[in-house]
Amino acid sequence: MPRYALRIEYDGTPFRGWQRQVALPSVQGAIEDALHRLDPNTPSIAAAGRTDTGVHATAQVAHCDLTRPWDPFRLRAALNAHLRPHPVAVLKAAQVADDFHARFSAIERAYAFRILNRRAPPALDAQRVWHVPHPLDAAAMQAGAAHLVGHHDFTTFRASQCQALSPVKTLDEITVTAHPTPGGQEIRITLRARSFLHNQVRSIVGTLERAGAGAWSPGQVRDALKARDRAACGPVAPPYGLCLIGVRYPEDPFA
């Protein structure tokens, strides 16, 4: 069976996350239903990351096995036709080696989190940003984030139901930037790592928000990390500000 990699963009708002669930809408379910319209014998697909309810993606990667060869251009077009009206789009399709795996072949994942920091609520991006009306200091958030970069035990920032075998991860980058907007600012937090724990990004963002608000000092972010205790974490940020923006492989499957 020829294997294909798909680069996928989606609005996570109407879905209960990536993973297929019985009687609940999922991104995986929408894509697999579209694939079955083309090839009823298509097995289940795999993705680089299982995003949670309400989380978006501009560069998710999945792979699928089909019973016959497809021209990638035609495969992309056919899938997008069958995905309507779901807010899911296949941006690219490419035939890949049989040993390519969207999840296990990935060497880096990147997420971005958007915070709209102003008094007025969002009118256009209500499901794309976390609206925080009180002032935030992006420099204080970056100072707190600096304590989290590197190889650490991230038990504090790990969901209680996380199924990862170890809480030890290497966080390669956290960058906090502020961008002026009418009436306030947008704060963007970018994170890169080979892999993440369940709710790790949202737990980190919620904790950094406390530092930005002045409720925590940047040093308290370090103390929370060292505590290795979920109770030491700040509040978990909501899902709708989060977006999977990149997945990197030893060789770009879409090159």
Residue 233 has pLDDT above 90, yes or no: yes
Band (pLDDT 50/70/90 cuts) for residue 120 is: very high
Q: What's the CA gap between 204 and 210, in Å, rounded?
A: 10
Q: Do domains 3-105 and 108-246 have the same CATH topology?
A: yes
179 CB burial (10 A radius; 0-12, 13-18, 19+):
exposed
Nearest by Cα to 100 from 246, 1, 243, 245: 1
CATH architecture observed for domain 108-246:
2-Layer Sandwich (3.30)
pLDDT of residue 20: 93
pLDDT of residue 192: 98
pLDDT of residue 160: 83
pLDDT of residue 175: 98
Q: Which of 52, 71, 153, 172 is catalytic?
A: 52
pLDDT of residue 63: 98
Task: Assess whether 99 carries a catalytic annotation.
Answer: no
Residue 164 has pLDDT above 90, yes or no: no
Domain boundaries, the chain: 3-105, 108-246
Residues 6+ apart with CB under 8 A from 156: 203, 224, 225, 227, 228, 229, 230, 232, 233
Whole-number percent of the chain with pLDDT over 70: 100
Reduce the DSSP state of residue 109 to 3 states and report it.
strand
Whole-number percent of the chain with pLDDT over 90: 95
- Taking only the tens place, the pLDDT of each residue in 16-50 is 999 999 889 999 999 999 999 999 989 999 999 99
Band (pLDDT 50/70/90 cuts) for residue 161 is: confident
The CATH class given to the 3-105 domain equals alpha beta
- Taking only the tens place, the pLDDT of each residue in 170-204 is 999 999 999 999 999 999 999 999 999 999 999 99
Q: Output the average pLDDT for the chain.
A: 97
Q: What number is the average pLDDT over the span 193-221?
A: 97
Band (pLDDT 50/70/90 cuts) for residue 229 is: very high
Query: Phi then psi for 236, rounded to 5 degrees?
Result: -85, 125
- Taking only the tens place, the pLDDT of each residue in 146-159 is 999 999 999 999 99
Residue 163 has pLDDT above 90, yes or no: no
Q: What's the CA gap between 220 and 200, in Å, rounded?
A: 17
Listed as own residue / partner, the contacts of 217-224 with beta carbons closer than 8 Å and 24 or more positions apart are: 218/140, 218/143, 218/144, 218/146, 218/147, 219/147, 220/144, 221/144, 221/145, 221/147, 221/148, 222/144, 222/147, 224/156
Q: What's the CA gap between 85 and 97, in Å, rounded?
A: 31
Residue 97 has pLDDT above 90, yes or no: yes
Q: What number is the average pLDDT over the span 43-67?
A: 96
